[in-house]
Structure 1
Amino acid sequence: MTFKRLTATVLASSALMLAACGSDDGSSSTESTTAAGATGTTAAAAASCPTEAPAADVAPQWTLDGTTGAVAVTGSTDTAVPKVTVTTPFSVDATQVQTLTEGDGALVPETAEVSVCYMGVNGRDGNVFDSSYETGSPVDFPLTGVIPGFQKAIAGQKVGSTVGVAMTSADGYATGQPAAGIEPGDTLIFAIKILSAQG
């Protein structure tokens, strides 16, 4: 017996839409529309994203003074979610990408289909607006189907890397994304773990 269900999960200040499809063979997949602008799928048996909070004294791997404000980012580990601390309002006038930890896998092509764990934070208010770490489930999508700043952060990195990106509104959502609490002009910060890439 096959069934479909649609649920809306509120992640911090945004909504991540999940549609799960199951079958009688015990396998399942998740389709999600992310704040990164992608619709992708994830197999339930795939690698998971950690869900435990990072240690209170974890040191940032990347600090960036913006045009206004500042951000400090520590990538996820095998057991803990990333930590993103924002001095608000934070903004940049050019998208900045930082490799937090370099992986040992192949380079990710610009047109790859990737599987990632990620957390998105709004620079205007410091709120997490989207996070696959909340559910523990990575998301799979083609890089050609995401917002430009997300593609800039991942393409050219090695599989296994953790990456931080602070993106301009133009590379994110220039006109805003109300469902995620993103207003026109908001700078977005993502902490990303690249699990795999194909293509």
Structure 2
Amino acid sequence: MSSAVAAGACATAFAMTLAACGSDTAAPTAGKNSSASAVASSVTQAAGPDATCPTAPPANPGTPQWTLPGATGSVAVTGSTDTAAPVVTVTAPFSVTATQVHTLQAGTGPVVAPTASVSVCYMGVNGRDGTVFDSSYQRGEPADFSLDGVVPGFQKAIAGQTVGSTVAVAMVSADGYPQGQPRAGILPGDTLVFAIKILSAN
């Protein structure tokens, strides 16, 4: 079945507990906090204090920027703009046998290092059923975190990209939550899809 998801309800806001790979414990939200503020003071091409993530999907998303047939199902992704959230359309169940990253639109900023601290807008979709399990777009504000503290698939998606880029990743369970993340509705073996906008990096 086909499920179009844009800025659907975020079930858990466990955002970048992506660090707790395989854990079913609740993760902290990835919104602005004191450590994030410290990072913000030294970022390169920072998003600025008023940076937000657009919450509404585009009125007419047009042709997807990335269409990926999977081992099962398929996914189509249109990245976010300054005024619209991304659109991820899943023909479920969608799965991949290897993690795949696609640059939807290249930015003009510096290259993001593998251990950089970044500020991003992102949407996470479960390939098994097409549901949005976490979205900073839904919350309307970026998430700040270090790439060496997230699941491997998220780091693979962002490291090596340029600041300002929009990217998408379809990650195998081993690069996400191999043991599942029950509080987010993620089961062992689930392929996860993320649409990401890189706002800044230090």
State the Cα deviation string for residues 119-154 of structure 1 (Å, max 9, x = none). Answer: 000000000000000111100000000000000000
Residue 15 (structure 1) aligns with = 12
Residue 8 (structure 1) aligns with = none
Residue 21 (structure 1) aligns with = none
C-alpha distance in structure 2 between counterparts of 1:36 and 1:48, whole Å: 21
More strand by share: 1
Q: Does 1:182 align with 2:179?
A: no
More helix by share: 2
Secondary structure at the aligned position of 1:54 is classed as coil
TM-score normalised over the length of structure 1: 0.82
Matching residue's letter, 2:180: G
Answer yes or no: is the 8 Å Cα contact 1:108–1:157 preserved in 2. yes
Residue 118 (structure 1) aligns with = 122
**1:37, CA displacement in angstroms?**
3.4
**1:46, CA displacement in angstroms?**
4.2
C-alpha distance in structure 1 between counterparts of 2:17 and 2:86, whole Å: 17
Residue 165 (structure 2) aligns with = 161
Relative to structure 1, the CA distance from residue 13 to residue 115 in structure 2 (aligned partners, 3 Å threshold; closer, same or farther) is closer
Q: Does 1:93 align with 2:97?
A: yes
Answer yes or no: is the 8 Å Cα contact 2:121–2:199 preserved in 1. yes
Contiguous gaps of at least 5 residues in structure 1: 1-10, 18-32
Match of 1:37 among 10, 19, 27: 19
Contiguous gaps of at least 5 residues in structure 2: 1-7, 21-27, 38-47
Kindly indicate whether structure 1 or structure 2 has the higher relative contact order, using CA contacts under 8 Å at least 6 residues apart. Answer: 2
C-alpha distance in structure 2 between counterparts of 1:76 and 1:167, whole Å: 19
State the Cα deviation string for residues 60-91 of structure 1 (Å, max 9, x = none). Answer: 00000000000000100000000000000000
Secondary structure at the aligned position of 1:60 is classed as coil
**1:56, CA displacement in angstroms?**
3.4
Relative to structure 1, the CA distance from residue 151 to residue 106 in structure 2 (aligned partners, 3 Å threshold; closer, same or farther) is same
Q: Of the two, which has the highest radius of gyration?
A: 1
**1:12, CA displacement in angstroms?**
2.8
Alignment of 1:39-54 (within 5 A): 40-42=30-32, 45-54=49-58
**1:34, CA displacement in angstroms?**
2.9
Answer yes or no: is the 8 Å Cα contact 1:13–1:181 preserved in 2. no
Question: CA RMSD for the aligned pairs?
Answer: 1.8
TM-score normalised over the length of structure 2: 0.81
Q: How many equivalent residue pairs?
A: 173
Answer yes or no: is the 8 Å Cα contact 1:12–1:127 preserved in 2. no
